[in-house]
Amino acid sequence: MYLNYPLPSASADGPHCQGAFGRHVPAAGNQEYVSWLANLLREVERNPQDLHPVLGEFERLIETNPRIYMLLQSMLHEAQECRLGVEQNVDMDDYHKLLQVLNHIITHAPPWSDDHPGVPMLVLLRFSMPTVSGYAFFQDPEVNKLIKKTLDAWADYLSSPESAGVLNTSTTGWFSAGALRRLTGTANIGGDGFEFGELYICNPDAPHYGFKSWDDFFTRRFREGVRPVAFPDDDSVIVNPCESQPFALARQVKFRDSFWIKGKAYSLSDMLGNTFVTPFLDGTVYQGYLDTFSYHRWHSPVSGRIVKSYVLDGTYFSTPEALNVNPPNKDPGNEIPYQGYLAAMATRAVILIEAENPEIGLMAFLAIGMAEISTCEISVCEGDYLRKGDELGMFHYGGSSHCLIFQNGVNITGFPEIGGGKNIPVRGQLAIVTPMEVDGFQLV
């Protein structure tokens, strides 16, 4: 889906640069990201590699299509002007260099580092996306197609045995002391003191803890009993489908709303792809956010039957709200303002469930990929009956977001504090549904 925005003239404002969406790129950003990108550039310059075939194809498109070449060169020039004074150690004004950095990213699994972003491509392109030329470049169908192929190539690598090389106990390994403290600290909700091997199914004595690839590690499963289903026999209790922080709660959602301007409203037709929209008009949307260190499988919030499931493809690196790159691990209380936008523009899986509880009826679960982290795998089929807490599917390769959508008339209360910055456990209590009341009488 492509949206038309008025394009104001580009302007500079001291250390800020205003791009196609009238938004300002943060002047300092996260200094950890600046250091990470500068170090990555130095590593790439010291060890240039042959381009992956898909990036070779990208290079040929740039060099044989004058329109794409012009847009890319203009984008890099505009981005470099924005970057000056903000990332002094980062020089990204040449498309050959850009392709080399992308080549490094898609041929390596992320090492453990306090500085490493969960979305390296988004950080690499954060000054390019808001420019007038960048908006046109990333919205181009040929470019978007090759970006998708680039992401698929990275996904292939992260599913390969070679990607397990970072799953070790070295200082840059995911089983180093620092990494394990972070992983267990995230998973030990409520101050539990479980070790990694007590939380997740693995074998600490085996190479790579028994994980076959980076993605195998990323989609790891909790051990039996670690995340029990809250009130499994009470259909009035809705459980959290993902291990996530509360992000937003919206009532009276509309068929179409200007979510891309306000960054607050939800637009059902864009979220659901014009399918099964009518039942949810004027209903309720709850959204949660997952970080890179969390558990990334989805579970059914209610008992019921799968009515329909489908995946909607999104656009890549063309979401204006995604410019606010603010990793939740640095300040858990920070709002992640682009999450609402991603609910309608990113790749997302939609699962419609007819709940066993008639007070809920038809509801929708959305699994939302984020930027380059956009693979959503559905593991249930239409017609399947699920008990509350059963698995629905999983994210691959990085942190993401999710939504629950309820119909108008569903009296759902008790949601956790929005913006509280703390994970709500997957399969733990999220909300309660009760019969509607009119003038003190329950509607039955």
Task: Output the six-digit token pair for 98.
Answer: 């850009």
0.85 exceeded by pTM: no
* Lowest mean pLDDT across 50-59, 101-110, 350-359, 366-375: 366-375
Q: Are 299 and 288 contacting, i.e. CB atoms less than 8 angstroms apart?
A: no
C-beta neighbour count of 141 within 10 angstroms: 9
Task: Output the six-digit token pair for 86.
Answer: 């903000």
Q: How far is CA 96 from CA 72, 99, 103, 150, in A?
A: 11, 5, 10, 16
| Average pLDDT estimate for 74-80 | 91
88: pLDDT confidence band, cut at 50, 70 and 90?
low
272: pLDDT confidence band, cut at 50, 70 and 90?
confident
* Angle made by CA atoms 190, 178, 293, in degrees to the nearest 5: 55
Q: How far is CA 319 from CA 136, 342, 352, in A?
A: 12, 8, 26
Q: Which of 104, 121, 19 is nearest to 55 (CA)?
A: 104
C-beta neighbour count of 366 within 10 angstroms: 24
Contacts of 184 (CB under 8 A, 6+ apart): 194, 195, 196, 199
330: pLDDT confidence band, cut at 50, 70 and 90?
very low
C-beta neighbour count of 109 within 10 angstroms: 21
pLDDT tens, position by position, 133-156: 988 898 899 998 998 899 899 999
pLDDT for 4 = 26
pLDDT for 315 = 60
For β-strands 362-368 and 401-406, DSSP reports them as antiparallel
Distance of CA 20 to the CA centre of its chain: 23
Quote the CA–CA distance of 308 and 378 in Å, as a whole number: 11
- Label each residue of the chain as H, E or C: CCCCCCCCCCEEECCEEECCCCCECCCCCCHHHHHHHHHHHHHHHHCCCCCCHHHHHHHHHHHHCHHHHHHHHHHHHHHHHHHCCCCCCCCCCCHHHHHHHHHHHHCCCCCCCCCCCCCHHHHHCCCCCCCHHHHHHHHCHHHHHHHHHHHHHHHHHHCCHHHHHHCCCCCCCCCCHHHHHHHHHHHCCCCCCCCHHHHECCCCCCHHHHCCCHHHHHCCCECCCCCCCCCCCCCCEEECCCCEEEEEEECCCECCCCHHHHCCCCEHHHHHCCCCCHHHCCCEEEEEECCCCCCCEEECCCCEEEEEEEEECCCCCCCHHHHCCCCCCCCCCCCCCCHHHHHHHCCEEEEEEEECCCCCCEEEEEEECECCECEEEECCCCCCEECCCCEEEEEECCCCEEEEEECCCCEEECCCCCCCCCCECCCCEEEEEECCEECCEECC
Task: Output the six-digit token pair for 150.
Answer: 């680039």
Contacts of 142 (CB under 8 A, 6+ apart): 61, 65, 68
pLDDT tens, position by position, 198-208: 999 999 999 99
Q: Are 306 and 342 contacting, i.e. CB atoms less than 8 angstroms apart?
A: no
229-253 core/surface letters (b: 16 or more CB in 10 A; e: else): bbeeeebebbbbbbbbbbbbbbeeb
Has residue 3 got a pLDDT over 90?
A: no
pLDDT, averaged across the chain: 82
Contacts of 69 (CB under 8 A, 6+ apart): 62, 63
> In the chain, where does the domain assigned CATH 2.70.70 lie?
237-325+335-433
pLDDT tens, position by position, 18-73: 433 333 344 344 677 778 888 888 899 999 899 999 999 999 999 999 999 999 99
CATH number for the region 237-325+335-433 comes to 2.70.70
342: pLDDT confidence band, cut at 50, 70 and 90?
very low
Quick one: CA dihedral 158, 156, 125, 286, positive or negative? Answer: negative
Q: Are 196 and 204 contacting, i.e. CB atoms less than 8 angstroms apart?
A: yes
Q: Which of 73, 51, 81, 57 is nearest to 137 (CA)?
A: 73
pLDDT for 317 = 65
* Lowest mean pLDDT across 84-93, 288-297, 339-348, 378-387: 339-348
Residue listed under structure tokens 């009130």: 231
Share of the chain above pLDDT 70, in %: 78
pLDDT for 343 = 43
420: pLDDT confidence band, cut at 50, 70 and 90?
confident
| Average pLDDT estimate for 158-185 | 96
